[in-house]
Structure 1
């Protein structure tokens, strides 16, 4: 027979309520760290591709560098005067949400 103030079993009930929220928070945090890491890689890939195009390499070599650095990523380039710019794009999934990522970089054309 339970006495008033008897808390036996309440810890298990509180854990059962709190555990899904803790797991969801950890999963979202890990997904956000993965997205941030992919964004940094995408920025580096865009910079590398811009330098390749600035040196006179073909668009195929630049696109291959982006795809090698960030699997599944694509790129677009544009030239304006003495500058060539590359925009790399990719997507990342956090839980069931897909987020687009973009990174841009420019380099001087004709540079070494």
Structure 2
């Protein structure tokens, strides 16, 4: 008997100026990315991956989907880590800020030295 291969599915939900990219494995939510359209740029509010599914490129898959769909948009976010307790109760804190900044840089983001928030990262079109 052959086992059924896992099904990874990316879906989108929108509401006014917000977009959620939702990543599900066999129907179970394992990752999400929340974006707000600020008019002049897209602001990444949160990227979260379930603790049991980290380290498999799911966060990159979510961010890549956003970048691929918006190649000419300015996209920004904060490299401040958080613990998505509202989604996964036992979630540990995400990547340290320095690791998160390096992760954003691998995807074409750069620190925004002109902004008062030292953790702001931006990808210009």
Query: TM-score, normalised to structure 2's length?
Result: 0.25
Query: TM-score, normalised to structure 1's length?
Result: 0.27
Larger Rg over CA atoms? 1
Question: Which has a greater percent of strand?
Answer: 2
Question: Which has a greater percent of helix?
Answer: 1
| Higher relative contact order (CA closer than 8 Å, sequence separation 6+) | 1
